[in-house]
Structure 1
Amino acid sequence: MSNYKLGLEFAKQQDQNDELSSYRKQFHIPKDNNGNELIYMTGNSLGLQPKITKDYINQELDDWANLGVEGHTEGKHPWLHYHEFLTETMANIVGAKPMEVVVMNSLTANLHFMMVSFYKPTPKRYKILIEADAFPSDKYAVESQLRHHGYDDKEGLILWKARKGEELANYDDLETIFNQHGDEIALVMIGGVNYYTGQFFDLKRIAALGHKHGCMVGFDCAHGAGNVPLNLHDSGADFAVWCSYKYLNSGPGSLSGAFVHERHAHRKDLNRFTGWWSHNKQTRFKMRDEFDQLPGAEGWQLSNPPILSMAAIRASLDVFKAAGFDKLCEKSRKLTGYFEFLLDELNNSDIKIITPRNPDERGCQLSIQVKNADKGLHNKLTKAGIITDWREPDVIRCAPVPLYNSYMDVYGFVERLKTILN
């Protein structure tokens, strides 16, 4: 869609024509001290709470109160199998087969568990490749894995850097890295959508390139899950991890998702950490049996999961299922394109969009780089009732999330920004 127009009436008309507009009413929108709804554009950091979440959690609290331990088998949604209630919808969102997906643990913990299995260094091939501006937790995690295996965490880390004067990573440079160091790289671990620039990487291209050079390939999709069509199965990646509290609206610090490609589903030769929840479900409670590994992504579980967190995830996934992820992605492209159009129309040299212009290379996040940044502009936006997030050294990240943001939100944001800039 390129026929965007300026003015309030256009925004109102788009919201009236939006078949997903009613979903906004299914979320709690934060308000200011006077009861006015804030313009919330930071679902890339913490998604808003669906109104049904409280009911979903209360159901489990009631079952706990009324059934005690019997809630594991007699509850409305028995706790023993609770993670299975999330699998199909989650798999659909990330583009995977149900067998390839499990919800468990927290994000960086899952990243470490995946690296236990898929980072297998040898004296010749031990290096790890990440994007230079990866989310800090990813960098810390891979550095610690290098140290754990006895390697120098600076010498063993290869960074895919943007070119000087540019913000976005370039695939030609990635190919050059592989041509020069491919036989030294054991693991490629890239953020599926870069947290800072919002660049959505071509997962299939990266995975094919890594595999061509004999590397294992994984992705941290924290900023991709629920935001862009990841198509993890078709990407060919060995593994992926993601959190559920950003675009998947499951609440602060909620559980993470993990993907393991089906070609690894029955591999018992892969090193892994294990626990009783990765043991055969039929004999798990016999307690005396030798370990019998579950096939698929479930075979990476360790412990029985926190049900209250999973209830919040189930609530959000039910909203996604009702809305339809393909429709959400379609709205996202239009809404983000409109946001881009209005920002461009400001024609202000103090701000610049550093997120890719190609809609196929981004989700709903636009990163606005601020000239001579001192966080002042971000603070003024906050005072004006706009919730975004600031990332050092000079970027305001803004995400018009299709589930609950409107064209009027985008219009209101840019109008207030215009006033501040002028």
Structure 2
Amino acid sequence: MSNYKLGLEYAKQQDQNDTLASYRNLFHIPKDKHGNDWLYFTGNSLGLQPKSTQKYIQQELDDWANLGVEGHFEAKNPWMRYHEFLTVSMAKLVGAKPIEVVITNTLTTNLHLLMVSFYQPTKTKYKIVIESDAFPSDRYAVQTQLEFHGFDANEGLIEWKPRQGEELLRIEDLESILKEQGDEIALLLIGGVNYYTGQYLDLKHIAELGHSKSCMVGIDLAHGAGNIQPELHDSGVDFAAWCTYKYLNSGPGSLAGLFVHEKHAHNRDLKRFAGWWSHNKSTRFNMRQPLDVIPGAEGWQLSNPPILSMAAIKASLDMFNDVGMDSLRAKSKKLTGYFEFLINELKNDKIKIITPSNPDERGCQLSIQVKDADKSLHQKLTEAHIITDWREPDVIRCAPVPLYNSFEDVYRMVEKLKEILDET
């Protein structure tokens, strides 16, 4: 049983007691035509813009205007090494060592580059395991990797599925897959937090299972970075990748993060697709030298990065540094628990939460399954400026983000949900 209570006054009291409540004021909250804040619950798709982002980007625009190409060395934040300004903060956020992390490329690009190195199939050990409801981009990536290596994607792709009548994955079913087919499996590529259900999987256990059968293990943390604490180094996974525009609030299509475990940092025998930003920094501009790969995650960079995107990431990471993931995670559990409590109190059989009830097995997303769905419930929420997102066939995804969502947001959202359900 929870200690949550019904009523608006309770929600307001929780906000008054919330030590992170002031951070909401550091974000641009979209407003309706009357100047009222939208109820924004889609930080799992695109995070809101920090008010500081404009200042961070403007600094680089000013240095570009005043210094031109010399900004690479003379800017306030020299562009040549700008990615290094992000490394320590990002490593801390995902539980990694600085040598294991770099901000570069975009998410699916990074997954492909990492699979070049860590998916090395043989004629007998070539299959790839993904969740049955993996994000489509991950599915397309592994299918085309299989085909690139000359395998039938339908035969080479193994799906880790929920059991009949269930929505969530069971780790014992992955154990069975590896027990039965482990000798044929080369790679596990798993979403650390499933985009559809919001289920947060045990990364360390997955890594141990995969490695017990000599499989490489990679994690897509698109819905995990800035949301949960994946502790990537301690998990033992071989690699991971994530975007920064969801919970990390860096703007649409912004750059992605990449993790390669320290145990692979100095392995020069790993195959890879390289570019000049993969090369030793001290001799990069000598131009006419054979590739001298940088140790660690930096060795998977290709080109000099877009500075304006990195400036937006820096604005966000500086805020995360200030707050700390421990505090964010604690509020996330409380805020999402309150959300779950209110929805359950509706006692309406038209909707059901399919995200795990255990706070340690989810981030801040709750996925609400709609019975006999026709998307109208989601559309009515949107018309009321309650911004959630719809995922086929029947789920409304809602993410009360601890940096900028309040308990009152959650209360007002569920009140409107109740009103709409009562009308149907």
Partners of 1:226 and 1:373 lie apart in 2 by 31
Residue of structure 2 equivalent to 1:251: 251
Q: By how many angstroms is 1:298 displaced?
A: 0.3
4+ residue segments displaced more than 2 Å:
none
Q: By how many angstroms is 1:285 displaced?
A: 0.8
Partners of 1:245 and 1:52 lie apart in 2 by 15
Residue of structure 2 equivalent to 1:239: 239
Residue of structure 1 equivalent to 2:343: 343
Residue of structure 1 equivalent to 2:67: 67
Residue of structure 2 equivalent to 1:313: 313
Residue of structure 1 equivalent to 2:327: 327
Residue of structure 2 equivalent to 1:183: 183
SS at match of 1:304: coil
Partners of 1:261 and 1:385 lie apart in 2 by 43
The 5-angstrom pairing of residues 7-406 of structure 1 reads 7-406=7-406
Partners of 1:57 and 1:154 lie apart in 2 by 45
SS at match of 1:330: helix
Q: By how many angstroms is 1:166 displaced?
A: 0.4
SS at match of 1:154: helix
Gaps of 5+ in 1: none
Partners of 2:387 and 2:261 lie apart in 1 by 37
Identity of aligned residues (%): 72
SS at match of 2:153: coil
TM-score by length of 1: 0.99
Letter paired with 1:221: L
Partners of 1:68 and 1:395 lie apart in 2 by 49
Q: By how many angstroms is 1:183 displaced?
A: 0.3
Partners of 1:37 and 1:407 lie apart in 2 by 14
Letter paired with 1:395: V
Partners of 2:269 and 2:290 lie apart in 1 by 16
SS at match of 2:129: strand
263-272 or 30-39, larger mean C-alpha shift: 30-39
Letter paired with 1:40: Y
Letter paired with 2:248: L
SS at match of 1:364: coil
SS at match of 2:72: helix
Q: By how many angstroms is 1:291 displaced?
A: 1.3
Letter paired with 1:95: G
| Structure 1 position 3 matched with structure 2 position 28 | no
SS at match of 1:35: coil
SS at match of 1:176: helix
SS at match of 1:281: coil
Partners of 1:98 and 1:326 lie apart in 2 by 19
Q: By how many angstroms is 1:2 displaced?
A: 2.5
Partners of 2:118 and 2:289 lie apart in 1 by 27
Q: By how many angstroms is 1:287 displaced?
A: 1.0
SS at match of 1:130: strand
Partners of 1:333 and 1:88 lie apart in 2 by 26
Partners of 2:52 and 2:255 lie apart in 1 by 18
Partners of 2:418 and 2:290 lie apart in 1 by 66
| Structure 1 position 412 matched with structure 2 position 377 | no
SS at match of 1:155: helix
SS at match of 1:277: helix
Letter paired with 1:402: P
Partners of 1:91 and 1:137 lie apart in 2 by 24
Letter paired with 1:91: A
Partners of 1:317 and 1:91 lie apart in 2 by 11
What does the per-residue CA deviation read over 1:229-282, in whole Å, with 9 as the maximum and x for residues that have no partner? 110001100000000000000000000000000000000010001111111111
Q: By how many angstroms is 1:357 displaced?
A: 0.6
May I ask how many residue pairs the two structures share in their alignment?
422
Q: By how many angstroms is 1:288 displaced?
A: 1.8
SS at match of 1:360: helix
Q: By how many angstroms is 1:50 displaced?
A: 0.1
What does the per-residue CA deviation read over 1:79-100, in whole Å, with 9 as the maximum and x for residues that have no partner? 0000001111111111100110
Letter paired with 1:295: P
SS at match of 2:159: strand
Residue of structure 2 equivalent to 1:421: 421
Gaps of 5+ in 2: none
Letter paired with 1:320: F
Q: By how many angstroms is 1:376 displaced?
A: 0.3
Q: By how many angstroms is 1:289 displaced?
A: 1.9
Q: By how many angstroms is 1:320 displaced?
A: 0.7
TM-score by length of 2: 0.99
What does the per-residue CA deviation read over 1:77-124, in whole Å, with 9 as the maximum and x for residues that have no partner? 000000001111111111100110000001000000000000000001
What does the per-residue CA deviation read over 1:10-31, in whole Å, with 9 as the maximum and x for residues that have no partner? 1000000000000000000001
Partners of 1:72 and 1:346 lie apart in 2 by 57
Partners of 1:372 and 1:290 lie apart in 2 by 61
Partners of 1:403 and 1:387 lie apart in 2 by 16
Q: By how many angstroms is 1:293 displaced?
A: 0.9
